[in-house]
Amino acid sequence: MDILSELHQDHVNLSRLLEILDRKVDRLRAGNHPDFSLMAEVVSYVGSYADQHHHPREDKMYAFFQGRDDELDKALSRCEEEHKQLKQLSTHLEESIDGILNDVVMPMDRFTDQLDEFVQAEKRHLDFEEQEIFRLLRSHASEADWQQLDQQLPRSEDPLFGEKQADEYRALYKALMEDMNRTDSAG
């Protein structure tokens, strides 16, 4: 599997989680209260996987191509800024969920808006990478570039969707599947 295919698969997996969170937004707006512990784990996973595994690979790949094309450079700068913004949104949302789990009073509509902002920002970012950056990279990269990058980029196994699920995520994966089935049958 080539690098863009691996990153695309990460995006597909993250999108699956974002869809679950998007459903949570709808349920919150309808007056239902979600499993905040499960939500905390999903948000933590999205944030930590992106920060520790996904974005470092992207950032190194993007740095490799920096300076080859003005349009690509502009898109890469935007992407770098979005990575920083997503980190802030993720951290802020995790803090809010942690507060709710520790009985800090927070208006549910404010929390719902915050969750929705996080989900929509993540979705827009994934779409931007898929439609703009990956397209530009395909048009500017040679086979030799991809081979060189393949040797340079850090390898990482997705602890939730990968073949070797980390123990800490096995329970999360099971809970997500159960929750999704409940949501689908209720929905």
**Would you list the domain boundaries of the chain?**
3-186
* 3-186 to CATH, choices 1.20.120.1730, 3.40.470.10, 3.40.50.970, 1.20.120.520: 1.20.120.520
Residue 134 CA to residue 56 CA, distance in Å, equals 16
User: Around Cβ 122, how many Cβ atoms within 10 Å?
Assistant: 24
Residue 4: helix, strand or coil by DSSP? helix
In this predicted structure, which of 27-36, 109-118, 119-128, 154-163 has the lowest mean pLDDT?
154-163
- Please tell me the distance from the alpha carbon of residue 187 to that of residue 180, in angstroms, as a whole number: 10
Q: How far apart are CA 91 and CA 95, in angstroms?
A: 6
- C-alpha span between 69 and 137 (Å, rounded): 10
Contact (CB, 8 A) for 97 and 28: no
pLDDT for the residue numbered 165 = 46
Exposed (0-12), middle (13-18) or buried (19+): which is 88, by Cβ within 10 Å? exposed
The pLDDT tens digits for 115-152 are 999 999 999 999 999 999 999 999 999 999 988 988 88
DSSP 67: T
Record the pTM: 0.82
Question: Measured at the alpha carbon of residue 116, what is the angle toward residues 15 and 97, in degrees to the nearest 5?
Answer: 95
pLDDT in tens, 59-106: 888 899 999 999 999 999 999 999 889 989 999 999 999 999 999 988
